Structures are given as C-alpha cells and as structure tokens.
Chains A and B, each alone.
Chain A
Amino acid sequence: DAGITQSPRHKVTETGTPVTLRCHQTENHRYMYWYRQDPGHGLRLIHYSYGVKDTDKGEVSDGYSVSRSKTEDFLLTLESATSSQTSVYFCAIRPGDSKEEYFGPGTRLTVL
C-alpha cells in the first residue's frame, strides 16, 4: 500500500458539468501523476506534477486541468465533462529517488 487514496471512487455526472477528482498521498512524495485507463489503450498520462504548483502536460491533457497547492494533494478537474471522458482515472506517485510509480485505487467516472 503506497498510502494513496482517491476520491470519489465512483461518480456519474452529466455532460457539461464540472468534475474534480482528488488524489491524496500520505508520504510527501515529490511526483504525482494522473492517468486514464481505457480498453485497448492501456494507461495514458493526462498531467503530472513534480512539486507544489509545478505541473506539466501528458499525452492526453486536452479538456483537463490540474492543481497542486499542497504536497499531499493533486486535483484533476474536468471543466466541462464530455462523454469521451468516461473512463477509469488512476493517480500515481513516484518517490523522488525511485524510478517506479505506485498507483491508487482508481476512480470510475461516467459522463452521461
């Protein structure tokens, strides 16, 4: 257990509504990541953070924004959810001296 929690674990929302997903870690690791998992695509990186207020885009960042105001929390926001954003979202952390990532339990988001 890498001390990662995600909330909510399940959410159903409607097209056009804003959605924020939260990732919380207890170990103060430097790197945090948001991925989406879709069948046949594996995991694709949305955004990542390498420190408080330091973030960068990943492979599929359009339609998503992130914020990290505290080391322990990394928020993913869908400003106006679309059906194509229906997916399972995983948060991951990477300790600064490590090369591997550790994953949270995931959030299943359905956009109707």
Chain B
Amino acid sequence: AQSVSQHNHHVILSEAASLELGCNYSYGGTVNLFWYVQYPGQHLQLLLKYFSGDPLVKGIKGFEAEFIKSKFSFNLRKPSVQWSDTAEYFCAARINAGNMLTFGGGTRLMVKP
C-alpha cells in the first residue's frame, strides 16, 4: 500500500531561519502531491500542490516545494520563517488519480519570536 512519510515530527526554529520539511512517498506511478497547513485550533488549508510540469512549485505565504521524482520526495521550504508560521504541516499524495488522499503523520513547527 502507498504511504507518505514525514520524518521531522517536531521542528523548532527562530524567526528568520530557513525551513525545510521532508516528505517522501512510496509509490512510483503518477502522483499528485500536496502540502496542507493547520494553524492552532483551525482546519487544514491547502498550502501548495504539484500535479505535473515544473517540479518547483510556489504556494501561499512564501512557501515552495520541490518534487524530486528520483528521490520520491516533495520537501517544503521557506527561506525565512515568521512566528505566524507556527502550525502543523501535512504532506499528502493522491496516487494514479484515485479517489483517496494519503497523509503523512504531520510536522509540528514552532517558530520562536
């Protein structure tokens, strides 16, 4: 069965530090990849998505992610984090245009002011 792994469970950064959160998926076919963000007490919001084409995708709030097919990875990056980026981040994959999303376990990011 396909799976999505997020290896960093908790990340603590100071403001202005650079961020990279890892995401790996276990399927070699066609994948649609997503990053969602969940701010404290809120629902999940779509941060960015990759379907095809340019492997570097840009999302909202200065986030970007790079799809590396050879590494089965879709890492999330931000050059300079802010305190307001404190949230939980989820990577997700849809395999072969199927009906279901598979989520990673999430990464809790805390940004210290």
Residues of A whose CB lies within 8 Å of any CB of B are: 31, 33, 35, 40-45, 48, 50, 56, 58, 90, 99-106
Contact = CB atoms under 8 A, between A and B. Distances in A.
Looking at chain A's contact residues, the main secondary structure is strand
B43 A106 contact: yes
B93 to A, nearest CB: 11
A99 B99 contact: no
A102 B49 contact: no
Interface string B15-27: 0000000000000
29 contacts: A31-B99, A35-B103, A40-B105, A42-B6, A42-B90, A42-B103, A42-B104, A42-B105, A43-B92, A43-B101, A43-B103, A56-B99, A58-B100, A90-B43, A90-B44, A99-B32, A99-B49, A99-B94, A99-B97, A100-B32, A100-B34, A100-B46, A100-B49, A101-B101, A103-B43, A103-B45, A104-B43, A105-B43, A106-B43
B69 interface: no
Given A40-B105, A42-B106, A104-B43, A99 B51 contact: yes
B108 to A, nearest CB: 9
B51 A102 contact: no
Nearest to B4: A42
A40 B51 CA distance: 26
Interface string B38-52: 000011111001010
Contact of B101 (A41, A45, A50, A104): A45
Nearest to B42: A105
B76 to A, nearest CB: 14
A41 B49 CA distance: 21
A40 B106 CA distance: 7
